[in-house]
Amino acid sequence: MLYAVISEDVSDSLSKRLAARPAHIARLQELKNQGRLIMAGPHPAVDSEDPGEAGFTGSLIIAEFPSLTEAQQWADADPYIEAGVYAKVTVKPYKKVLP
CATH number at residue 66: 3.30.70.1060
Asked if 86 contacts 75 with a C-beta cutoff of 8 angstroms, the reply is no
In a domain, 99, yes or no: no
pLDDT, residue 34, reads: 98
Mean pLDDT score across all residues of the chain: 97
75: closest CA among 4, 26, 1?
Answer: 4
88: closest CA among 15, 31, 24, 7?
Answer: 7
pLDDT, residue 49, reads: 92
The domain tally of the chain equals 1
In a domain, 47, yes or no: yes
- pTM above threshold 0.85: yes
Which domain range does residue 84 map to? 2-94
Split at pLDDT 50, 70, 90, the class of 78 is very high
Residue 32 CB contacts under 8 Å (≥ 6 apart), including other chains? none
